[in-house]
């Protein structure tokens, strides 16, 4: 995989600029900054737990990311194709891997901004009590990796889709499957009909299962590799799909 530094940074800056010269990123950040605490306070009963931690927030973060990351990922390749600018990008002397990495890095930066927008809650729990800040930082790291995984998969589907709407719907379905795979609701309903090994594998590969370790303040090497593999797979799949248009002509 060849990555051109100049190409990467130029495309990263253009992507970031594209986010922030339209209201899109601001709407996205505001939506996340409002919705995440709203879930934590109203459904997670933040104050009723009587604990100085952010578990009511992190319990709902995967579900919010499941909706918002596909919205962030849908435009990455589909918009380039819609507007004909993929023609410009692919005629520049830059590798498709640089383009894919830059697009991912820019969207991941916006996702990081969304997570940072919830920091007032972290500051609040420090004001109210003495939380385990290392555990909270690890939970944020997990949420960041989870956001990256959803984004990478979403961008791969954006590269494979003809339109942004199709990309959004497909990404939502994919992230929904990835999130729900390990839930008792799914595993219990499958346990009677599907082979036990498959049910176990499904539960093992669920992002919720992996994220729960981070929520508890534990960084497992396996969990880290799991998320990084998902991210790498998504970026590579998106790049390969976009690069394949050199052969197919679309």
Partner 1 sequence: MLTVDSVVKTFGRRRAVDRVGFTLTTGEVLGFLGPNGAGKTTVMRMIAGRLEPDAGKVCVGPHDMVRARRAGQKMVGYLPEGAPAYRTMTPREFVGFCLSVRGHSGPQLRDARELALDRARLGREANQQIGTLSKGFKRRAALAAAIAHDPPLLVLDEPTDGLDPNQKHEVRALIREMAADKAIIVSTHILEEVPAVCSRVIVIDQGRIVVDEEPDDFAARARSGRLDDAFRSLTRPSAEAAS
- What is the smallest separation between the CB atom of 241 and partner 1, expressed in angstroms? 15
87 binds partner 1 (CB under 8 A): yes
- What is the smallest separation between the CB atom of 4 and partner 1, expressed in angstroms? 8
90 binds partner 1 (CB under 8 A): yes
Site for partner 1 in 12-51 (CB under 8 A): 13-14, 17-18, 21-22
Binding mask 67-86 for partner 1 (x = CB under 8 A): ----------------xxx-
Q: Which is nearer to partner 1, 74 or 115 (CB)?
A: 74
Check: CB of residue 207 under 8 Å from CB of residue 146: yes
Q: Which is nearer to partner 1, 18 or 176 (CB)?
A: 18
162 binds partner 1 (CB under 8 A): no
Q: Which is nearer to partner 1, 23 or 195 (CB)?
A: 23
* Selection from 1, 153, 121 nearest residue 55 by Cα: 121
Backbone φ and ψ of 90, nearest 5°? -80, -5
Site for partner 1 in 188-217 (CB under 8 A): none
Site for partner 1 in 94-153 (CB under 8 A): 94-95
What's the CA angle centered on 235, arms 152 and 2, to 5 degrees?
155
8-state DSSP, 2:
-
Check: CB of residue 91 under 8 Å from CB of residue 173: no
- What is the smallest separation between the CB atom of 79 and partner 1, expressed in angstroms? 10
Alpha carbon distance, N-terminus to C-terminus of the chain: 23
- What is the smallest separation between the CB atom of 54 and partner 1, expressed in angstroms? 36
Q: Is 119 exposed, middle or buried (0-12, 13-18, 19+ CB in 10 A)?
A: exposed
* Selection from 145, 134, 157 nearest residue 75 by Cα: 157
Q: Which is nearer to partner 1, 13 or 45 (CB)?
A: 13
Q: Which is nearer to partner 1, 14 or 216 (CB)?
A: 14
Q: Which residues contact 153 (CB under 8 A, 6 or more apart)?
A: 73, 171, 174, 175, 178, 230, 233, 234
Residue 115: its H or E element: helix 96-116
Residues at the contact surface with partner 1, assessed by CB under 8 A:
4, 6-7, 9-11, 13-14, 17-18, 21-22, 83-85, 87-88, 90-95, 246-249
């Amino acid at each position: 995989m060849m990555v051109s530094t100049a190409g990467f940074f130029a495309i990263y800056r253009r992507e970031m600029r594209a986010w922030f010269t339209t209201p899109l990123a601001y709407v996205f950040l505001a939506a996340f900054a409002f919705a995440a605490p709203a879930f934590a306070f109203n459904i997670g009963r933040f104050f009723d737990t009587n604990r100085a931690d952010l578990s009511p927030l992190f319990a709902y973060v995967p579900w919010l990311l499941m909706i918002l990351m596909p919205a962030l990922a849908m435009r990455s390749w589909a918009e380039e194709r819609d507007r004909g600018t993929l023609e410009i990008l692919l005629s520049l002397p830059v590798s498709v891997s640089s383009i894919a990495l830059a697009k991912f890095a820019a969207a991941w930066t916006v996702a990081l901004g969304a997570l940072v927008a919830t920091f007032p809650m972290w500051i609040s729990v420090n004001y109210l009590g003495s939380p385990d800040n290392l555990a909270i930082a690890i939970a944020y790291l997990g949420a960041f990796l989870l956001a990256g995984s959803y984004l990478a998969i979403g961008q791969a589907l954006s590269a494979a889709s003809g339109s942004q709407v199709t990309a959004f719907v497909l990404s939502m379905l994919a992230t929904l499957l990835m999130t729900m795979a390990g839930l008792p609701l799914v595993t219990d309903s499958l346990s009677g009909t599907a082979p036990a090994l498959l049910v176990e594998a499904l539960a093992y590969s669920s992002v919720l299962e992996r994220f729960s370790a981070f929520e508890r303040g534990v960084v497992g090497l396996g969990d880290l590799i799991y998320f990084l593999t998902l991210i790498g797979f998504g970026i590579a799949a998106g790049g390969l799909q976009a690069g394949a248009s050199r052969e197919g002509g679309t």
